[in-house]
Amino acid sequence: MPIPRAAQTQRRTRIQEEKEEQILEAALDVFSQNGFKGATIDQIAEVAGMSKPNLLYYFRTKEAMHRALIERVLDTWLDPLRAFDAEGNPESEIRSYIRRKLEMARDYPRESRLFANEVLRGAPLIEDELKGPLKQLVDEKAEVIRAWAKAGKIAKCDPYHLIFSIWSTTQHYADFDVQVRAVLGQEKDGDGRFEDAARFLEQLFMGGLSIRA
């Protein structure tokens, strides 16, 4: 369960909601750059442009801010997988999933690094979610992939490792963006690198999943 926020028993005003968002935006910057252990409330207050006592009125602890962000990120991260349609064309569904995951790597790099840091430290805040809702969703979509393979629509494969591979290859462009841009060079430093990545990953995965005579 989330750690209670300060003033949670009161009906929050629009200004209070805006302040919370301001704090969470600042916390996202600090956590994604410094990790949970390296981040401090003082740093977050400075980035948010408010005093430490004012910040603590909304979130009593560093853990409360971190948990709020992690739960939000996990929910956002699962949206593309939820959209995986069993009734859809397998090639279209997998291509769409790859592209949506790359779009998230492009548009939410801070969130990606925050989630990666949480998992690397043993996922203490979201272990229940990983073993519960996340596992249930992946189990459900694994059955969809198995059904496609059984129907001869794609090659037989381990559905879990297919999903893991899509996660790792797409999230690489967020978590290791500095490395990617350094290797590609300035001429490929723009958002076009995500389109190049999408075309390659589609070729990679769809080539491996195609039914060959």
pTM: 0.83
Q: Is there a domain that residue 158 lies in? A: yes
The Cα 200–Cα 202 span in angstroms is 5
206 has a pLDDT exceeding 90: yes
Q: Is there a domain that residue 25 lies in? A: yes
Residue indicated by tokens 């969130």: 111
- Where residue 164 sits, what CATH number does that domain have? 1.10.357.10
CB 126 within 8 A of CB 165: no
Residue-wise pLDDT tens digits, 149-190: 999 999 999 999 999 999 999 999 999 999 999 999 988 777
Token duo for residue 171 = 């999230």
- Who's near 72: CB < 8 A, 6+ residues apart? 24
**Is residue 60 domain-shared with residue 153, that is, in the same domain?**
no
**Is residue 142 domain-shared with residue 84, that is, in the same domain?**
yes
Max avg pLDDT among 10-14, 74-78, 161-165: 161-165
**Is residue 162 domain-shared with residue 90, that is, in the same domain?**
yes
Residue-wise pLDDT tens digits, 117-147: 889 889 888 888 899 989 999 999 999 999 9
**Is residue 160 domain-shared with residue 204, that is, in the same domain?**
yes
